[in-house]
């Protein structure tokens, strides 16, 4: 007997009109024809912007069309499963539904990929049921040609005997100090974030921040296997980047000295001059850079200065963050057994989840 396989959104290309996380629920899509927002009628599920396949060239007075242009949705399954069917609903999307979909199933444990549905047509305001050969997967990629709305996407199959390992977030037992900004929340809220809400919640700083940070004193020395930074439902206010550094456990006895040697935000001007302000936030807010003797001092690069030989070892020295995305990082610049972690993001904004697995 086929079972419903719970899933979650890892990332998606666009859903400007709706909250796409609703589409993965088992709930019957609501009739919201009388509900309006500033975006018009409030639809249930996922709906992308228009004109994905068509590009305007105003200078040449032409349009260009790309047949294979699509929006996409990356989904993770909460348990490894052998999937054999998919139900897709376009209910309430009467003329703005996705026209067709392709589905690629991916198994992280074996490294295999398989396209099980190839450009199947979707009708407006209708429930669709697709059967395919049983395929083991941990996640999938759905290509949506070329745009439009889907109200519900549910996978069915059976659990496999070999499951993904259950792991606890090592940050859940860590002491948190040196928090730069907790205007709308505290890093502890990000540690506890597990996507139970259908609204933004987590650690969000004020817009006046220029580089946020928190230090996690781990309950026991840890060798890191994976780091997750989840910007769930932070669609317009996620940080631009994240940075993780670690203090090796044999350095922990001199923690106070190490705290004086944290990585610093640095400005580099066009003439090569570099400045590392003692208080970077005040420097930026007070526009002190305009007083620098460098030519055109209103334009500059911002980088994170991490001197060679510093006690804080770069784990993730620089990673880009995207809105409403479950970011997984498994490749690190330095490995080892760490007693303390420094998490930073730039310049400000909100994250829903922060997890470290050993």
The pLDDT value given to residue 281: 96
Residue 279 lies in a domain: no
For the chain (358 residues), the mean pLDDT of every run of 10, in chain order, is 94 96 96 90 95 96 97 96 98 96 96 98 98 97 97 96 80 96 94 96 95 96 97 97 94 81 95 95 97 94 91 96 98 96 97 97
- Whichever domain contains 209, its CATH number is 2.60.120.260
Tell me the C-alpha to C-alpha distance, in Å, between residue 22 and each of 153, 163, 199, 234: 9, 26, 11, 15
Please state the domain count of the chain.
Answer: 2
Q: How far is Cα of residue 3 from the mean position of the Cα atoms in its chain?
A: 28
Helices (H) and strands (E) in the chain, counts: 3, 26
Residue 114 lies in a domain: yes
The pLDDT value given to residue 177: 96
pLDDT tens across 250-284, in order? 876 688 888 889 999 999 999 999 999 999 999 99
Which pTM value belongs to this model?
Answer: 0.94
> Tokens standing for 331?
């490749």
Q: What is the DSSP letter of 256?
A: H
Residue 296 lies in a domain: no
Domain range holding 149?
3-159
Alpha-carbon distance of 187 to 209, in angstroms, equals: 15
State which of 159, 191, 208 marks the end of a domain: 159
Alpha-carbon distance of 19 to 150, in angstroms, equals: 11
Q: What is the DSSP letter of 172?
A: G
96 and 77 in a common domain = yes
The pLDDT value given to residue 77: 96
The pLDDT value given to residue 133: 97
The pLDDT value given to residue 218: 96
Residue 270 lies in a domain: no
């Amino acid at each position: 007997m086929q079972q419903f396989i719970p899933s979650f959104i890892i990332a998606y290309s666009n859903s400007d009109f709706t909250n796409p996380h609703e589409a993965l629920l088992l709930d019957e899509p609501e009739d919201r024809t009388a509900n309006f927002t500033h975006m018009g009628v409030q639809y249930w599920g996922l709906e992308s912007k228009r004109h994905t396949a068509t590009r305007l060239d105003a200078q040449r007075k032409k349009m260009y069309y790309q047949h294979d242009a699509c929006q996409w949705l990356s989904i993770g399954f909460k348990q490894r499963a052998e999937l054999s069917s998919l139900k897709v609903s376009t209910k309430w999307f009467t003329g703005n539904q996705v026209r067709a979909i392709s589905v690629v199933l991916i198994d992280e444990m074996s490294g295999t990929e398989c396209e099980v549905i190839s450009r199947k047509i979707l009708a407006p305001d209708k429930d669709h049921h697709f059967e395919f050969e049983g395929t083991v997967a941990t996640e999938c990629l759905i290509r949506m040609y070329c745009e439009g709305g889907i109200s519900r996407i549910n996978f069915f199959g059976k659990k496999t005997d070999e499951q993904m390992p259950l792991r606890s977030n090592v940050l859940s037992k860590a002491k948190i100090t040196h928090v730069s900004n907790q205007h709308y929340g505290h890093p502890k809220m990000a540690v506890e974030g597990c996507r139970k809400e259908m609204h933004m919640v987590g650690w969000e700083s004020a817009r006046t921040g220029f580089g946020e940070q928190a230090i996690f004193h781990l309950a026991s020395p840890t060798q890191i296997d994976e780091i997750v930074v989840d910007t769930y439902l932070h669609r317009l206010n996620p940080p631009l980047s994240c940075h993780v550094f670690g203090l090796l456990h044999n350095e922990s006895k001199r923690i106070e000295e190490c705290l004086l040697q944290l990585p610093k935000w640095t400005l580099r001007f066009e003439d090569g001059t570099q400045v590392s302000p003692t208080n970077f936030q005040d420097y930026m807010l007070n526009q002190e850079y305009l007083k620098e003797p460098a030519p055109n001092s209103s334009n500059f690069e911002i980088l994170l200065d991490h001197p060679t030989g510093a006690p804080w070892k770069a784990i993730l020295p620089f990673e880009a963050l995207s809105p409403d995305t479950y970011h997984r990082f498994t490749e690190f610049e330095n490995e080892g057994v760490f007693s303390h972690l420094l998490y930073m993001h730039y310049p400000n904004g909100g994250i829903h989840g922060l997890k470290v697995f050993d």
